[in-house]
Structure 1
Amino acid sequence: MWNPFRRKEKALMAPANNSGWFSLILEPFSGAWQRNIKVDRRSVLAYHAVFSCISLIANDIAKMPIRLMSKDSNGIWKERSSNSISVLKKPNAFQTRIQFYENWLISKLAWGNTYILIIRNNSGQIIEFRVLDPQRVQPLVSDDGDVFYQIGADNMAGLENEIIVPAREIIHDRFNCLYHPLVGLSPIYACGLSAMQGLHIQENSAAFFKNGGKPSGVIKYPGSISEEKAKEIKAAWDTGYSGENSGKTAILSGGADYIPVSMTAADAQTVEQLKMTAEIVCSVYHVPAYKVGVGSVPTQSNIEALELQYYSQCLQTHIESIETLMDEALDLEVNTGAEFDIDVLLRMDTQGRFATYKTAVGSAVMSPNEARRKENLSPVPGGDNPYLQQQNYSLEALARRDAQDNPFANATSQAQPAQSNDDDEAESKALTHGEMYAAKAMLKGIFHERA
C-alpha cells in the first residue's frame, strides 16, 4: 500500500484527546473518574436494553437486500446487474452480506466508528471489504489537512504489521461527532450510566433472591461490646445464616435482637427503576421501547405506520450513510447508486397491501403485472400496461374542451349546419322512432339465425 512517509515533510498527528475517546472506560459526567464512578463498555453491552437496541438496528438493516440502482432516461430508478459490484453482495471471503452489515452497524453503535478496509487487486479494482477492529485504528491529520488512518496489526484484515493508509483506502462511518469530525461517539456515551444503574439493580435483585428473599440487617446487643467480639458475632452469623443457610433458625442470647435494615424489592420499586433505565437507553438509540420488550405494544392496527416511524427516526440515517459511503468507495456514476430495499422492513399486512394494489391499478398508477411482481407472482398476458375506464378523458382533451367559448355545449348545438332548401326533404327521409326499432329487431333476428 502507498506509504505517506515517502514525503518526510508531511507530519501526521492524531486529533486532540483522541486516545481518551477510544478507551474502554468512559466518564458518564465530568469528574466521575475522580469519584470512582466509571462506565465499563463491556459491562454496558451486557445490559439487556443496550444489547437489544444494537442487535435490533443491526439485524433490521442487515436483512435488507442491497442493490445497484440506475436511473433511466425517464428518471426511473431500476435495478442494474453488473459483475463489477458483486462485492456489495459478497463483501469478503469469510462473511456473508448479512454478517458484514451486522458487523458494520455493531461497530458503529458500540464504538461510534466503523472502519472498512478496501482490498484491491493488481488492477486497482475493489475485490473485498473488511471491517476493522475500531480499537486498532486511529485517524491522523497531516499539516496540510490530508487524512490518513493508522491501522494496527490485524490478521482478520490481512495486516501483519502496523501500516498507515490514505483516507481513500478506508470507509469511515462515524456517529455523533460531537467533539471532532473524524471521531464518532457511541450512544453508550449518553446512556452508559443508566445501563450501569440497571445492571446494579439486577445484581442487587439477584443477590437478594439468592439470599432466599431475606433482607440484610443488624444484630443489636444491649450495652457495649468490643470490636473483636463484634467481628466474631458477625462472622458466625454470616457463616450460619446467610447464603445457602439463609432461612435457618437463629438463636440469640444475652438480649441480642436482629433488626432488618434493607428495603424489600417492592419498597425500592425495583421494577419501575429498571424500566426507567431501559427506556433511557431506548431513547438514546431512538428505538421504540416496545420493540425491545419495554412497555406495552401499541394497539393501533396500522403496522406500516409504526414501521415507518421506526424507519424515519432510527434506521434512515444509518441506511443513508452506508449507501452514500458505498457510492463513494465504488466511484459510481451520478445516476447510479447502491440502495437498500426498505420494502422488506415496511411490508404491510395482507389486507392493506391488496387494498393498495387495487387503488394503484385502478387509478393507472401501476400495471397489473407490477402489482403481481411485488407479490412474487408471474406476469399475465396483457398485464404490462396500466388501464383506465373508457369514459375517462386525458388532461389534454379536457384542456381543448375548456378552451372553447362554451365548453359545456353538446356537439350538435356547436355544429351550425348550412342553411339549405333541401332541409325539408332531408327531414322527410329521416326514419321515425318506430321504424328504427323495427330495423334493430330485424338485424337482431338475422344475427341469431346465423349463430
Structure 2
Amino acid sequence: MANWLSRISRLIGKAEGEYRPGPWYLPITGGWLPADVGKFTNWWQLGYDPIGLSSQSAMVEACVSAYSQTVAMCPGDHWRLNSKGGRDRVKNSALARLLRYPNDYQTISDFLLNAVRSLYLTGNCYALALRNDRYEIDELHLMKSELSRPLLASTGEIFYQLYGNDIIAKRMNEETLLVPQRDVLHIKLHTRRERYPVPLIGESPILAAYGDIGVGNAIARQQQAFYMNEARPSAVLSTDLVLDKDQVQALRDRWNDQAKGLYQGGTPILTAGLKVQPWAVGGKDAATAEMLKLSNEHIALAFRIPLQILGLGGAAYNSTELLMQSWIASGLGFCLNHVEEAIGVLFLLKGQPDEYVEFDTAALLRSAMKDRIEALARGVQGGIFAPNEARNSEGLPDAKFGDEPRVQQQVVPLSAAGAIPAAPPAPSAAPQPAPHAAPLPPKKGNRDDLAREVRNLFELTERIGRRRLTP
C-alpha cells in the first residue's frame, strides 16, 4: 500500500490551498456557496449562509427522488446476443446475481435508490467491488460520495480514495481505502473542464439551479416570517357610521360569538350599515407566488423532468404510457443508460448489442393495465410477439400452440400478390331471341329422357337403402 501511495502525486483538480472558482460544495454544512459569496474568506461573518440541498428545497428533493425511486423500480438483467440474431437472458453470471443481491445488507432497490440519489445530489456515485476466490465481483458497497474522490498517479493510473461506509470500515479495520480503478463502480455526470483537469469528477445539476434554489429558500423564509409576525385578518367589517371604542368592541364581541369556537360557521346578522369586505391578496403576494413557481420550473428544467411527473401541471398527456415515454426519451432514459454503461464497464462487458445490462422500464406501467394490454395485443396481432410471450409477461401460463408468432391471412408480401394469375375474361352473353319470334318446338324425346333419369334415381335410392338395412 505504501508503494502505491508514493506513486500518487496529485489529486484531480487544484492542489490543496490553491484557489478554485466557485460555486463550492461544503460537505460539513451540506450546501453550496455561490461564487460571489465564497470569494470572501469570512463569508459567515458577513451574514451569508450556504444554499441547502434537498433538505432545504422541496423541489430539489422531488426531482432527485423522482430519478432515484423510478430507477429503483426497474429490474435489471444481463443480456447476451445469440446466434439467431435475438438475445438470451444470462441467469448464471456474477453480474446477474449482483443485479438481484448487491450485498448482504441491501436489496437491489436499496442500492439503486441510494446510488442514483448520490449521483444527482453530488454528481458522483462510488461503490467498492469485492471479489470472491474465482476473482469474480461478488459484492458492491456504496461509499459516501461527498468524502470519496479519484486520485491520479504520476504514471497515469487511476485510484480511488473511498470513505464513508461504516460496515466496510468495521470489516476491514480501515476508515479510508485506496482502491484501484478496476474495483470501483464510479458513475459520474458531466465534468466542467475549467474546474477539473481530467474528466473524473462529475457535477450535479444543482449547480445550474443553485440560484433558483436560493431564490426559493429566500422566499420561503421571508413568507414564513411575514405570516408569523403579521396580524392580517381574512376580512374586515366596515360602516359609514362613526363608532367609539366601546361600540367597536361590542361589535367585535358579537361577531366572535357567532363566528368563532363552537359557533364557527354561523350566520352573523349585521345592522347599522355594517358590511363584510374580504381581504384580497395583494399584487405583491401574487408576484411572489409567481416568482416561486418560476424558480421551481427552472429547477425541474435543470433536472430534465416533465412538470407532469412532479404534479405541477403543464400540457396533459392522453395516457400514462405517453407521459413515461416522454420522460424516458429525455432525462430518465439518459439516467438508466448511464447506470447501465457504468456497470457494464466494471464487469468488462462487450457492450451493445453483443453483451450488456438493461433495466426494464415496463415495470413503470405496472398500474396502467389498459395501456399495457393494448400494447401486448397489438404486438401479438402484428406478429412481433408470440401469444405465449405476451402471456408470460403478464405472469400467465403457456397456451397450447402459442409458441409461434402469427399474423392475419390477408398480410402477404408484394411478391405473392404479383404471382396471383389474372382473372379470366368474362364469357360472352348468349344471343337474345328476336322480338315477336315464335318459340321453338321442343325436341322430340326430351320427355322420355327425363322419365328415364327419374326411374334410375329411384332405383339407386332403393339399392342404397337396402344396403344400409342388411346386417
**TM superposition score normalised by structure 2:** 0.68
Residues 42 and 120 of structure 1, relative CA distance in 2, 3 Å threshold: farther
Residues 28 and 200 of structure 1, relative CA distance in 2, 3 Å threshold: same
CA deviation vs aligned residue, 1:302-328 (integer Å, no higher than 9, x gap): 322221111121111111111112122
- Report the secondary structure of 2:138's partner residue: strand
CA deviation vs aligned residue, 1:253-275 (integer Å, no higher than 9, x gap): xxxxxxxxxxx865243211211
**2:13 corresponding residue in structure 1:** 16
The CA distance in 1 between the partners of 2:141 and 2:148, in whole Å, is: 13
The structure with the larger Rg is 2
Moved over 6 A (4+): none
**1:289 corresponding residue in structure 2:** 307
- Are the counterparts in 2 of residues 115 and 170 from structure 1 also a CA contact under 8 Å? yes
The CA distance in 2 between the partners of 1:38 and 1:182, in whole Å, is: 31
The CA distance in 1 between the partners of 2:11 and 2:369, in whole Å, is: 54
The CA distance in 2 between the partners of 1:69 and 1:129, in whole Å, is: 20
The CA distance in 1 between the partners of 2:201 and 2:15, in whole Å, is: 7
**1:106 corresponding residue in structure 2:** 117
Residues 170 and 381 of structure 1, relative CA distance in 2, 3 Å threshold: same
- Are the counterparts in 2 of residues 4 and 165 from structure 1 also a CA contact under 8 Å? no
The CA distance in 1 between the partners of 2:373 and 2:146, in whole Å, is: 49
Q: Does 1:187 align with 2:234?
A: no
Give how far 1:101 is off.
Answer: 0.4
Residues 194 and 161 of structure 1, relative CA distance in 2, 3 Å threshold: same
Residues 291 and 411 of structure 1, relative CA distance in 2, 3 Å threshold: same
Q: Does 1:382 align with 2:382?
A: no
CA deviation vs aligned residue, 1:126-183 (integer Å, no higher than 9, x gap): 1210111112212111222211112346423335243322111111111121133111
Match of 1:134 among 145, 150, 156: 145
Match of 1:46 among 48, 56, 59: 56
Q: Does 1:177 align with 2:191?
A: yes
Look up the equivalent residue of 1:75 and give its one-letter code.
G
Residues 359 and 155 of structure 1, relative CA distance in 2, 3 Å threshold: closer
Look up the equivalent residue of 2:330 and give its one-letter code.
Q
Q: Does 1:93 align with 2:96?
A: no
The CA distance in 2 between the partners of 1:207 and 1:95, in whole Å, is: 42
Of the structure 1 ranges 180-189 and 147-156, higher mean CA displacement relative to structure 2 is found in 147-156
The CA distance in 2 between the partners of 1:208 and 1:91, in whole Å, is: 49
Match of 2:319 among 263, 279, 302: 302
**1:76 corresponding residue in structure 2:** 86
- Report the secondary structure of 1:185's partner residue: coil
**2:331 corresponding residue in structure 1:** 314
Residues 120 and 94 of structure 1, relative CA distance in 2, 3 Å threshold: same
Q: Does 1:145 align with 2:146?
A: no
- Are the counterparts in 2 of residues 360 and 366 from structure 1 also a CA contact under 8 Å? yes
Residues 286 and 182 of structure 1, relative CA distance in 2, 3 Å threshold: same
- Are the counterparts in 2 of residues 27 and 33 from structure 1 also a CA contact under 8 Å? no
- Are the counterparts in 2 of residues 47 and 199 from structure 1 also a CA contact under 8 Å? yes
**1:200 corresponding residue in structure 2:** 218
- Report the secondary structure of 1:12's partner residue: strand
- Are the counterparts in 1 of residues 126 and 144 from structure 2 also a CA contact under 8 Å? yes
Look up the equivalent residue of 1:284 and give its one-letter code.
A
Match of 1:28 among 31, 34, 58: 34
Of the structure 1 ranges 166-175 and 363-372, higher mean CA displacement relative to structure 2 is found in 363-372
CA deviation vs aligned residue, 1:386-407 (integer Å, no higher than 9, x gap): 22344554566457x3xxxxx7
- Are the counterparts in 2 of residues 28 and 39 from structure 1 also a CA contact under 8 Å? no
Give how far 1:65 is off.
Answer: 0.7
- Report the secondary structure of 2:330's partner residue: helix
Residues 366 and 347 of structure 1, relative CA distance in 2, 3 Å threshold: same
Give how far 1:46 is off.
Answer: 2.0
**TM superposition score normalised by structure 1:** 0.71
Give the number of aligned pairs.
363
- Are the counterparts in 2 of residues 44 and 196 from structure 1 also a CA contact under 8 Å? no
- Report the secondary structure of 1:135's partner residue: coil
The CA distance in 1 between the partners of 2:51 and 2:128, in whole Å, is: 25
Match of 2:341 among 280, 302, 324: 324
Give how far 1:331 is off.
Answer: 2.6
- Are the counterparts in 1 of residues 189 and 203 from structure 2 also a CA contact under 8 Å? yes
**1:162 corresponding residue in structure 2:** 176
CA deviation vs aligned residue, 1:35-84 (integer Å, no higher than 9, x gap): 75866354554211001100111000011111112222122123221153
Give how far 1:284 is off.
Answer: 0.7
Q: Which runs of 5+ in 2 are unaligned?
A: 234-280, 427-452
The CA distance in 2 between the partners of 1:186 and 1:153, in whole Å, is: 20
The CA distance in 2 between the partners of 1:30 and 1:172, in whole Å, is: 31
Residues 43 and 317 of structure 1, relative CA distance in 2, 3 Å threshold: closer
- Report the secondary structure of 2:308's partner residue: helix
**1:255 corresponding residue in structure 2:** none
Aligned-residue CA RMSD (Å): 3.4
Look up the equivalent residue of 1:355 and give its one-letter code.
E
Q: Does 1:340 align with 2:359?
A: yes
- Are the counterparts in 2 of residues 113 and 175 from structure 1 also a CA contact under 8 Å? yes
Of the structure 1 ranges 95-104 and 299-308, higher mean CA displacement relative to structure 2 is found in 299-308
- Report the secondary structure of 1:102's partner residue: helix
- Are the counterparts in 2 of residues 153 and 161 from structure 1 also a CA contact under 8 Å? yes
**1:258 corresponding residue in structure 2:** none
Residues 397 and 56 of structure 1, relative CA distance in 2, 3 Å threshold: same
Give how far 1:190 is off.
Answer: 1.3
Q: Does 1:115 align with 2:126?
A: yes
The CA distance in 2 between the partners of 1:409 and 1:348, in whole Å, is: 53
Q: Does 1:211 align with 2:226?
A: no
